[in-house]
Structures are given as structure tokens and as C-alpha cells.
Amino acid sequence: MRHTISVLVENKFGVLSRISGLFSGRGYNIESLSVNKTLEEGISIMTIVTSGDDAIIEQIIKQLRKLVNVLKVRDVSQMDHIEREMMLLKVRTEKTNRSEIFNIINTFRGKTIDITNNSLVVEITGAKDKLMAFVKVLEPYGIIEVGRTGAIALSRGSKPTTDFK
């Protein structure tokens, strides 16, 4: 089963390699991993999308909590939550199909951010399924390349997803 795990870490030397190494060393999957600073000085947040049965997910969470620089671990999939990732996608265009492609982009609420005579770069955000659907629809036109962030996630409602205090 796919799980999205939110990990609040102290932004200390080697913390990313401790976490990524934990996953590789113990044979856990990482589908995506995104890291950035939070508003709090010295604290970063990682969102890890992984998969495994309940026992594996339980071990992943326990092993993450064992790391000294890890402040908080939450399995966001267990909460009512919002998950987004962003994709930049470069697609081939021709005079004859450009407006057709624009229609698709609008339908998916994407944004055109670069345009040439024979290509477009689109920015689109959403959950993974939406992005994959978008890719599928544009595939026949000729996708030149894509760049994707990993997923990031927050719980719904006023409470913080990972409150470490």
C-alpha cells in the first residue's frame, strides 16, 4: 500500500543521507522524497512516499523515529490530508494542434510558461493521479521531457500536520 510520511528533522549535517540510507539499507521503497526548510529556523520537512504492508510501514516509522535528528514522524495517509506535486512538462506542438493542446492544459488547470513555434512548457500541480492522467492525454502529441517534484502533504483543518513542540 502507498503511504505518505511526513518527517520533521533538525537541519543538521548528513540528515538526508541518514534517512535515505535507512531506506536503502533496510530494503524499503522510496517512490518520492522531497525536502525543504520550514518557517522554523534550523528545521526541515521531508515528505516521503513509500509502499509496503502494515508491518513494513510500522517499522519504517519506528526506524525513522530512532534517528537522533528526527523530531516528528507522521503517516499522513492515515489523516484527512491534501497531497500535491508539481510537474513541468515540455510537449511538441504544431500550428494545427496548438489550440487543442491549450484546451487540454486549461481543462487540467495547468499553466503555459514557455512557448516556441514547435513546443510548450506547462506547469501543473495536483495529486499523482491527476499528473499521470495529464501525461497520458499529452503523450500522443510527443512529450519531450518532464520534471517532477516529489509529493508534499499537509493535513486538513487548523491543526499542524507535524507539531514537534
Partner 1 sequence: MKMTGAEILVESLRKEGVDLLFGYPGGVLLGIYDTLFDSDIKHILPRHEQGGIHAADGYARATGKVGVCFGTSGPGATNLVTGICNAQMDSVPLVVLTGQVATSLIGGDAFQEADIIGITRPIVKHSYLISNPEEITTVIKEAFHIAASGRPGPVVIDLPKDIMAQKAEFKYPAKVDLPGYNPTVKGHLGQIKKMLRMMEGAKKPVIYMGGGVVISGANEEMAKVSELTGIPVISSFLGKGGIPGTHENYIGWLGMHGNYASNMAMAEPDFILAVGTRFSDRSTGRLDGFAPNATIAHIDVDPSSISKNVKIDVPIVGDVKAVLKQVLAEIEKYSWDKNLTSRKDWMAKIKAWDKKQPFGYDRKADIIKPQYVVESIYKVTKGEAIICTEVGQNQMWAGQFYKFKEPRQFISSGGLGTMGFGFPAAIGAKLGCPEKEVFDIAGDGSFMMNLQEICTAVQYNVAVKVAILNNKYLGMIRQWQNMFFNNRYSECCLDCQPDFVKLAESFNAVGMRIERKEDVEGAIRESLKIKDKPVIMDFCVDRDENVFPMIPAGAAVNEMLLK
Residues that bind partner 1 (CB under 8 A): 9-10, 13-14, 17-18, 21-22, 25, 55, 58-59, 62-63, 65-71, 164
Asked whether the beta carbons of 9 and 22 are under 8 A apart, the reply is: no
Whichever of 69 and 155 has its CB closer to partner 1, that residue is: 69
Whichever of 15 and 131 has its CB closer to partner 1, that residue is: 15
CA distance 104 to 110: 9
- 86 vs 10, 39, 46, 132, 133, CA distance in Å? 25, 21, 16, 11, 14
Whichever of 45 and 71 has its CB closer to partner 1, that residue is: 71
> C-beta of 36: minimal distance to partner 1 in Å?
18
> C-beta of 77: minimal distance to partner 1 in Å?
19
Residue among 146, 140, 131 nearest 93 (CA)? 140
Asked whether the beta carbons of 119 and 95 are under 8 A apart, the reply is: no
Asked whether the beta carbons of 101 and 108 are under 8 A apart, the reply is: no
CA distance 122 to 7: 30
> C-beta of 9: minimal distance to partner 1 in Å?
8
Whichever of 63 and 97 has its CB closer to partner 1, that residue is: 63
> C-beta of 161: minimal distance to partner 1 in Å?
17
> C-beta of 31: minimal distance to partner 1 in Å?
21
Whichever of 44 and 93 has its CB closer to partner 1, that residue is: 44
